[in-house]
């Protein structure tokens, strides 16, 4: 589904250039549930934005579903993004003056689906994520967990093959975080590739593969089921807040 070969990305501001991704090699298969860990500033969001075609890269290759993604103009990027990818963010990114139903229906509005039809479909998605009774509530009237479920429903409504989630539980308490992870697991069980960024070991442990970024490259990749090895790495580094 996703193949990266020797991918490089620098940010240039004025005379300064910051080399963030320094040769990322990565392969993620269709249907995998992957977490990306790494200290703050290690380039996790940069990587996710490139995977989501929100940003371009400088060198190397990125293949999404066999198609080379490089230097697409905004229209092509948007088409591929809308067909393939759903996004979930730490801060939910819901539109504050639209209710839950309208937020979920929004991608269909951009696909020019009629109001009547998109509201029917959006209600189905709200129902599926346990939010039918909250359809006419504004984001401010929803709990953090409910907001993230609305965001996941919105990401799912255009039937993406890949869900990219940047710290989806970063703003939630532990119980709600597990609830949201359970929902992402159910999404993954339907065959959708799910890639999340997280700081939390117990969240990462709920995914089937953990990728650790360090100094702009991929450090280790840990397959779940080999959690013993994972725990040993954590212990050897003696760091619990950030991997």
User: Which residues make up the interface to Mg ion (CB under 5 A)?
Assistant: 44-45
Residue 82 or 90: the one with the smaller Cβ distance to Mg ion is 90
Which tokens go with 131?
């939010």
Q: Is 104 helix (H, G, I), strand (E, B) or coil?
A: helix
Residue 109 or 242: the one with the smaller Cβ distance to ligand ADP is 242
Residue 46 binding target from Mg ion, ligand ADP, none, CB below 5 to 8 Å by type: ligand ADP
Residue 101 or 210: the one with the smaller Cβ distance to Mg ion is 210
Residue holding tokens 């954590």?
234
Cα(51)–Cα(92) distance, integer angstroms: 19
Q: Are 212 and 219 in contact (CB under 8 A)?
A: yes
Residue 13 or 238: the one with the smaller Cβ distance to ligand ADP is 13
Residue 11 binding target from Mg ion, ligand ADP, none, CB below 5 to 8 Å by type: ligand ADP
Q: Is 189 helix (H, G, I), strand (E, B) or coil?
A: helix
* Residue with the shortest CB distance to Mg ion: 45
Cα(102)–Cα(108) distance, integer angstroms: 10
Residue 40 binding target from ligand ADP, Mg ion, none, CB below 5 to 8 Å by type: ligand ADP
Give CA angle at 49 (46, 50), nearest 5°: 90
Q: Point out which residues bind ligand ADP (CB under 6 A).
A: 11, 13, 18, 20, 38, 40-46
């Amino acid at each position: 589904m996703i193949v990266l070969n020797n991918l490089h990305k620098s940010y240039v501001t004025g005379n300064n250039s910051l080399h963030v991704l320094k040769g990322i090699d990565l392969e993620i298969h269709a249907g995998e549930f992957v977490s990306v860990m790494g200290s703050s500033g290690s380039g996790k969001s940069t990587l996710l934005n490139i995977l989501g075609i929100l940003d371009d890269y400088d060198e190397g290759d990125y293949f999404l579903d066999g198609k080379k993604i490089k230097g697409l103009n905004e229209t092509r990027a948007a088409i591929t993004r809308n067909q393939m990818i759903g996004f979930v963010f730490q801060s939910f990114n819901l539109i504050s003056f639209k209710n839950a139903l309208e937020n979920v229906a929004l991608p269909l509005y951009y696909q020019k689906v009629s109001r009547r039809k998109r509201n029917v479909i959006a209600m189905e998605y709200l129902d599926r994520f346990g939010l039918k009774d909250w359809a006419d509530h504004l984001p401010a009237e929803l709990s953090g967990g409910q907001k993230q479920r609305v965001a996941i429903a919105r990401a799912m409504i255009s039937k993406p093959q890949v869900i990219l989630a940047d710290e989806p539980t970063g703003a939630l308490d532990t119980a709600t975080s597990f609830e949201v992870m359970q929902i992402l697991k159910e999404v993954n069980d339907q065959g959708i590739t799910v890639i999340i960024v997280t700081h939390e070991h117990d969240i990462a442990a709920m995914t089937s593969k953990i990728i650790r970024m360090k100094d702009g490259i991929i450090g280790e990749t840990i397959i779940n089921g080999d959690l013993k090895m994972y725990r040993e790495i954590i212990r050897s580094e003696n760091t619990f807040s950030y991997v």
